[in-house]
């Protein structure tokens, strides 16, 4: 396996040089073993092949120089000693056609196509059999095959590079969102620990004088410590790097959802808010993430839905919280929707932290909807 990996790495780094050296080596074998050539002619051919190999050694970085070199070789082929064979020139030409096709774009690709056609015409005219339909078909096929192969390989490489960039962008967005979530959970845990410390101090002072008050303080410590432990577990799983400048401001909760809805309305998107079920006391992390999920979904609706009306539904169930943000805009029709881009990535990350699930997509009746379920019974 290491040998295979080393070979691939060698080809990736020095493939052009290795290919050029291989063709030059074949050329040397051809005319040094051919009969009917003088020493001077062999030296001339050796120098010509080495010069061509030097150009081809940088073919990926200078494809048009390779195109010029293959045209020059085609022009010189008819003026070289007949006994040299010429197969090495043909190999140089075919590799050159592939090179200019695979490594050029835009105007450079037009120039590359011109060099390829010019080289093909020179080879066709120089053919001892003359120009006839059979020769046209043969040389046309001979030159078209490496050209279209090069263009196909180029398209594949560009597609792979684009996919790799999109993958890196998505991974970066996920990492940023996880860091953001970890910071927010850090604040939740820090607040919980502060409450525990204050309750412990108060309980110690009242231990002898007010046993009832002490019992209430201990109950509060137990409840808060249980919640903090759950948030700390998530924090340890998400935090990627330390940050000495964590935000100290209180985190938003569903109790402030009316303020968020009002802000979105002021921004130009009419929003209806509905709360179903009996509101329950949520663990701080669930409460915070629910607010952020609604915020992300409304922000995406504001950006992509166009003229529309949005509706936010918060359902309190048995040990779980259901959120739905929908709109009747045009975003879902073209695939952008209210949940596209990195906003939906952030929502999924937040839901995954609590073991919930999320659905997002165009609605049959038009518009877009984001639905998330956040279980919290185990955190109580």
Of the candidates 330, 360, 334, 331, which has an alpha carbon nearest to the alpha carbon of residue 348?
360
Question: Are 234 and 258 part of one and the same domain?
Answer: no
Q: What is the pLDDT of residue 243?
A: 43
Rank 141-155, 185-199, 219-233, 263-277 by mean pLDDT and report only the highest: 141-155
Q: Is the pLDDT of residue 230 over 80?
A: no
- Name which residue leads in pLDDT, 175 or 92: 92
Q: How far apart are CA 196 and CA 228, in angstroms?
A: 10
- Note whether residue 137 is domain-resident: no
Question: Are 233 and 263 part of one and the same domain?
Answer: no
Question: Are 89 and 179 part of one and the same domain?
Answer: no
Question: Are 181 and 230 part of one and the same domain?
Answer: yes
Mean pLDDT computed over 280-298:
87
Number of domains in the chain: 3
Q: Token match 């046209």: residue? A: 136
- Note whether residue 164 is domain-resident: no
Question: Are 222 and 266 part of one and the same domain?
Answer: no
211-238 and 133-206 helices, crossing angle to 10°: 160
Q: How far apart are CA 20 and CA 116, in angstroms?
A: 19
Beta bridge partners of 322: 315, 373
Q: What is the pLDDT of residues 343-353, one digit of tens each?
A: 687 788 888 88
Question: Are 15 and 106 part of one and the same domain?
Answer: yes
Q: Is the pLDDT of residue 300 over 80?
A: yes
- Note whether residue 155 is domain-resident: no
Bridge-based pairing state of the strands 310-316 and 271-276:
parallel
- How many angstroms separate the Cα of 333 from the Cα of each of 196, 220, 296, 368? 51, 50, 20, 8
- Note whether residue 308 is domain-resident: yes
- Note whether residue 243 is domain-resident: no
- Note whether residue 107 is domain-resident: yes
Q: What domain range is 113 assigned to?
A: 2-131
- Name which residue leads in pLDDT, 77 or 218: 77
Q: What is the pLDDT of residue 161?
A: 83
Among the residues of the chain, which ranges form H helices? 2-33, 39-56, 63-77, 87-102, 107-126, 133-206, 211-238, 257-266, 284-304, 341-353
Mean pLDDT computed over 137-142:
89
Are 254 and 292 spatial neighbours (Cβ–Cβ below 8 Å)? Answer: no
- Note whether residue 90 is domain-resident: yes
Question: Are 268 and 368 part of one and the same domain?
Answer: yes
- Note whether residue 139 is domain-resident: no
- Name which residue leads in pLDDT, 218 or 190: 218
Angle at CA 98, nearest 5°, toward 95 and 104? 130
Q: What is the pLDDT of residues 305-319, one digit of tens each?
A: 778 889 999 999 888
Question: Are 21 and 98 part of one and the same domain?
Answer: yes
Q: How far apart are CA 150 and CA 135, in angstroms?
A: 23
Are 328 and 350 spatial neighbours (Cβ–Cβ below 8 Å)? Answer: no
Mean pLDDT computed over 32-40:
84
Q: What is the pLDDT of residue 71?
A: 92
Q: Among residues of the chain, what percentage have pLDDT more than 90?
A: 28
Q: Token match 């059999």: residue? A: 129
Mean pLDDT computed over 63-88:
83
Q: What is the pLDDT of residue 144?
A: 93
Mean pLDDT computed over 141-164:
90
Q: What is the pLDDT of residue 338?
A: 44
CATH number where 206 lies? 1.20.5.1930
Question: Are 299 and 208 part of one and the same domain?
Answer: no
Two tokens at 274?
Answer: 């509905």
Of the candidates 365, 267, 277, which has an alpha carbon nearest to the alpha carbon of residue 316?
277
Question: Are 266 and 230 part of one and the same domain?
Answer: no
Mean pLDDT computed over 213-220:
68
Domain end point (choices 238, 262, 290):
238
Beta bridge partners of 358: 372
Domain end point (choices 181, 211, 238):
238
Question: Are 77 and 121 part of one and the same domain?
Answer: yes
């Amino acid at each position: 396996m290491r040998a295979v990996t080393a070979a691939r790495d060698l080809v990736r780094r020095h493939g052009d040089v290795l290919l050029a050296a291989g063709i030059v080596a074949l050329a040397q074998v051809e005319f040094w073993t051919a009969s009917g050539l003088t020493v001077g002619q062999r030296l001339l051919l050796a120098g010509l092949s080495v010069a061509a190999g030097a150009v081809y050694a940088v073919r990926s970085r200078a494809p048009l120089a390779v195109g010029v070199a293959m045209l020059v070789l085609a022009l010189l082929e008819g003026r070289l000693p007949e006994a040299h064979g010429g197969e090495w020139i043909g190999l140089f030409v075919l590799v050159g056609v592939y090179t200019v096709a695979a490594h050029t774009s835009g105007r450079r690709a037009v120039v590359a196509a011109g060099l390829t056609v010019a080289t093909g015409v020179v080879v066709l005219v120089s053919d001892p059999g003359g120009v006839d339909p059979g020769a046209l078909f043969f040389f046309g096929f001979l030159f078209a095959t490496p050209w279209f192969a090069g263009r196909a390989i180029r398209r594949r490489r560009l597609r792979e590079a684009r996919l790799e960039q999109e993958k890196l962008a998505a991974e970066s967005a996920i990492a940023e969102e996880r860091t953001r979530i970890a910071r927010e959970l850090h604040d939740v845990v820090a607040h919980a620990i502060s409450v525990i410390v204050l309750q412990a101090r108060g309980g110690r002072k009242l231990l002898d004088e007010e046993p009832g008050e002490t019992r209430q303080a201990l109950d509060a410590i137990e409840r808060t410590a249980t919640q903090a432990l759950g948030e700390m577990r998530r924090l340890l799983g998400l935090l990627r790097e330390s940050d000495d400048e964590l935000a100290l401001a209180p985190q938003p909760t569903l109790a402030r959802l009316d303020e968020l809805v009002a802000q979105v309305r002021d921004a130009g998107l009419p929003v209806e808010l509905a709360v179903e079920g009996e509101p329950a006391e949520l663990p701080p992390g669930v409460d915070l993430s629910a607010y952020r999920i609604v915020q992300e979904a409304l922000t995406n609706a504001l950006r992509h839905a166009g003229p529309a009306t949005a509706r936010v539904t918060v359902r309190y169930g048995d040990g779980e919280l259901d959120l739905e943000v929908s709109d009747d805009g045009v975003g879902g029709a073209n695939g952008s929707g209210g949940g596209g881009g990195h906003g939906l990535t952030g929502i999924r990350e937040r839901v995954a932290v609590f073991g919930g699930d999320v659905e997002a997509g165009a609605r049959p009746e038009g518009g877009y909807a984001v639905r998330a379920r956040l279980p919290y019974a185990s955190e109580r």
